[in-house]
Amino acid sequence: MRRRWTLNNIYAAYPDLFEELQLPAGVCKATFVATVLDEYGELTVAKLIPRFKTSVTLWGQRNAYALSRLLGTTTAEYNPIENFDRKEDVTDTRDNSVVTKGTSGNTTKSNGAGNTNSRSKESAYERGTLVDTSEVTNTSNQTDTVEAVGKVTSDTSGLETYTHTSHMHGNIGVTSNQQMLEAERKLVNYDFYLAAANMFANDMLICVYNF
């Protein structure tokens, strides 16, 4: 009878089968290997026997990111009855610079003009009629101008910075707390090692049992 090369048979023949397999930090290699053998050890390998060990090592390299992300979902911190969590860090900068420029001035003008006449009259001794003997006329014109002009400049500058942080979280009302608690119960039953072993079986084994 032809011998079937199940995973258990190969591991028994080659105990170092998983020796070079590298898994992400936080993943227990011994637990992963034990889970694979326990769940899928009776399945036939899908790779050539001489290269199966190399294929196992390559599988770990190709799936390192996916395994790391899956593991992260089991350690993420959150509130099971909140579905809204937003954090904001805001910095506002206000420019208070003020520049004022202008011109101020005063101009005063005064104009003045006037005439002054002086006359002297005398009468002859023999005659009783007065006649002008002299006339003096004074004329004066005066203009006074006072002008004052000045420039006013004011420059005030400055920046004001305001920083504030807000954290808003809670239940937005789309899902009830009871529903979220029920989802949490399902989540805690998630088995990372079983999920990782299933990934390995789908890629490396023929998922058909032959007895």
DSSP assignment string, 139-163 = EEEEEEEEEEEEEEEEEE--EEEEE
Least confident of 63-67, 92-96, 138-142, 152-156: 138-142
- pLDDT of 159 reads 72
Give the helix ranges, DSSP H, for the chain. Answer: 7-13, 29-40, 52-62, 64-75, 177-188, 192-204
Assign 126 to helix, strand or coil. Answer: coil
In terms of phi and psi (left: phi > 0; alpha: psi -120 to 50; beta: otherwise), the region of 79 is beta
- pLDDT of 104 reads 55
- Paired tokens of 92: 């506002």
Amino acid at 67: L
Residue 106: is its pLDDT beyond 80?
A: no
CA distance 88 to 166: 5
Q: Return the H-helix or E-strand segment holding 97.
A: none
- Paired tokens of 127: 């005659």
CA distance 186 to 80: 12
- pLDDT of 91 reads 83
- Paired tokens of 135: 């006339």
Q: Is the model more confident about 165 or about 78?
A: 165
- Paired tokens of 12: 């028994």
| Radius of gyration over every alpha carbon of the chain, rounded to an integer in angstroms | 54
- Paired tokens of 16: 């170092």
Residues 121-165: tens digit of each pLDDT: 554 444 555 555 555 455 555 555 555 555 556 556 667 777 878
The residue ranges of every structural domain in the chain are 7-88+176-206, 98-156
pTM above threshold 0.85: no
